[in-house]
């Protein structure tokens, strides 16, 4: 009991930390329940979980997940009916930024379910069950329909996408500067290294090295320091020319989601029976994913954010976002394009 009073632990917490069986156990010496290190670890874990619980808005979180569900289903229905236009896409991205970022704030977000879970376990060996539930919901959404949560719901991802679209004309041409498509082998290598470095630093030194540059904090600017402000400013500037640089180069959930994306049930596929090999989809695609799909590269296909730009420009409606199995192009299929150009 004296230990609990000295450390601000209520009786319920003491019962859980020490495994007390009856009120009389409160009078027992602390050292009967283990060594100092064992007790310190238990208390640290308990206090960390209590702090996590106290930091959450338990009214806002279920409301936000409910809005995510409604919004993503709406986008899915619109896209399946092929009603997605450039203006509508811009409006949906803007709405997502306003609802899930400006109004609802940075927490919760897909990245935090991975980053914060690793950091919490590294520093306290604690697992926060609500965060694991949120992570499973996000990963199930990736398994069900590609990176839909990243594409249309993530408050940091949609902000980058919105800025990228601002610098595009109605024909998907760059308005200012040049569209830069970074090779996936480069972006994914950087992303893996960032993930490894973050994890090692968290376990060895107990420091969250992503927190100072966390782009989600833009929705709470007072939490961004000088370094973070400069980094996020540079990040958003390059979003004009590079499609979702944070998602491609730094995001821990982006990496985990990319792995789950390999077995996603609904994704972009091409019907090579009707495809005329014009290459318009690869040209319009903001990343290198369509080029990889067209060449039948199964192992290293980049993240696909289901933006539907490729499908919108296809003249024969050969591109679908469905559960249809993705097939490899027939041998010599893209020779059609060469013949067409040589004939012209």
DSSP string over 78-124: HHHTT---HHHHHHHHHHHIIIIIIIT-S-S-HHHHHHHHHHHHHHH
CATH of 267-343, one of 3.30.420.40, 3.60.20.10, 3.40.1350.10, 3.30.70.20: 3.30.70.20
In the chain, the N- to C-terminal Cα span, in Å, equals 89
**Cα–Cα dist 94/40, whole Å:** 47
Q: Of all residues in the chain, what percent carry a pLDDT higher than 90?
A: 47
pLDDT of 82 reads 79
Quickly state the pLDDT bin for 178 (edges 50, 70, 90): confident
Please give the mean pLDDT across all residues of the chain. 87
Q: Which residue has the higher pLDDT, 32 or 47?
A: 47
- pLDDT tens per residue across span 46-75: 888 888 888 899 999 999 999 999 999 999
Running DSSP on this structure, what letter comes out for residue 223? G
Quickly state the pLDDT bin for 79 (edges 50, 70, 90): confident
**Cα–Cα dist 145/106, whole Å:** 23
Provide the residue count of the chain: 344
pLDDT of 344 reads 39
Q: Which residue has the higher pLDDT, 57 or 86?
A: 57
Quickly state the pLDDT bin for 92 (edges 50, 70, 90): very high
Lowest mean pLDDT among 8-12, 184-188, 298-302, 335-339: 335-339
Nearest in space to 251 (alpha carbons), one of 327, 195, 185, 183: 195
61 three-state secondary structure: helix
What the block records as the tokens of 90 is 């811009």
**Cα–Cα dist 68/15, whole Å:** 38
**Cα–Cα dist 134/47, whole Å:** 21
Domain spans of the chain, in order of start = 2-55, 60-261, 267-343
pLDDT of 260 reads 92
- pLDDT tens per residue across span 218-274: 999 888 889 999 999 999 999 999 999 999 999 999 999 999 988 888 888 898 889
Quickly state the pLDDT bin for 198 (edges 50, 70, 90): very high
pLDDT of 340 reads 46
Lowest mean pLDDT among 23-27, 53-57, 139-143: 23-27
Q: In the predicted model, what is the mean pLDDT of residues 293-305?
A: 81
**Cα–Cα dist 60/88, whole Å:** 27
**Cα–Cα dist 21/28, whole Å:** 12
Q: In the predicted model, what is the mean pLDDT of residues 109-120?
A: 95
H or E element: which one contains 268?
Answer: strand 267-270
Residue 277 has pLDDT above 60, yes or no: yes
Which residues fall within 8 angstroms of residue 284, CB to CB, at 6 or more apart? 172, 290, 309, 310, 312, 313
**Cα–Cα dist 343/246, whole Å:** 43
pTM for this prediction: 0.86
pLDDT of 172 reads 61
**Cα–Cα dist 106/99, whole Å:** 11
Lowest mean pLDDT among 1-10, 107-116, 134-143, 283-292: 1-10
Residue 35 has pLDDT above 80, yes or no: no
Residue 308 has pLDDT above 90, yes or no: no
């Amino acid at each position: 009991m004296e230990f609990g009073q000295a450390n601000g632990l209520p009786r319920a917490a003491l019962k859980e930390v020490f495994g007390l069986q009856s009120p009389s156990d409160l009078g027992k010496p602390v050292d009967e329940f283990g060594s100092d290190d064992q007790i310190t670890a238990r208390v640290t874990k308990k206090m960390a979980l209590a702090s996590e619980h106290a930091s959450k808005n338990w009214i806002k979180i279920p409301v936000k997940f409910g809005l995510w569900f409604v919004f993503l289903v709406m986008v899915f229905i619109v896209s399946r009916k092929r009603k997605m236009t450039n203006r509508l896409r811009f409006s949906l991205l803007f709405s997502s930024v306003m609802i899930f970022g400006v109004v609802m704030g940075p927490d919760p977000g897909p990245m935090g379910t991975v980053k914060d879970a690793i950091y919490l376990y590294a520093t306290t060996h604690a697992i926060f069950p609500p965060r694991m539930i949120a992570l499973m919901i996000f990963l199930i959404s990736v398994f069900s329909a590609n990176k839909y949560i990243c594409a249309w719901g993530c408050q940091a991802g949609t902000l980058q996408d919105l800025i990228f679209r601002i610098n595009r004309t109605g024909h998907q041409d760059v308005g200012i500067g040049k569209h830069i498509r970074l090779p996936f082998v480069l972006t994914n290598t950087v992303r893996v290294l960032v993930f490894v470095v973050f994890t090692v630093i968290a376990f060895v030194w107990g420091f969250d090295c992503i927190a100072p540059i966390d782009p989600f904090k833009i929705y709470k600017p007072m939490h961004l320091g000088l370094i973070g402000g400069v980094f996020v400013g540079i990040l958003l500037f390059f979003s004009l020319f590079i499609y979702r640089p944070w998602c491609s180069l730094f995001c821990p959930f982006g990496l985990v989601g990319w792995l789950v994306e390999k077995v996603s049930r609904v994704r972009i596929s091409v019907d090579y029976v009707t495809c005329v090999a014009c290459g318009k989809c690869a040209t319009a695609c903001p990343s290198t994913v369509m080029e990889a799909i067209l060449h039948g590269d199964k192992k290293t296909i980049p993240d696909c954010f289901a933006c539907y730009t490729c499908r919108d420009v296809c003249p024969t409606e050969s591109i679908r976002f469905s559960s249809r199995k993705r097939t490899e192009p027939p041998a010599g299929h893209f020779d059609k394009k060469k013949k067409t150009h040589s004939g012209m």
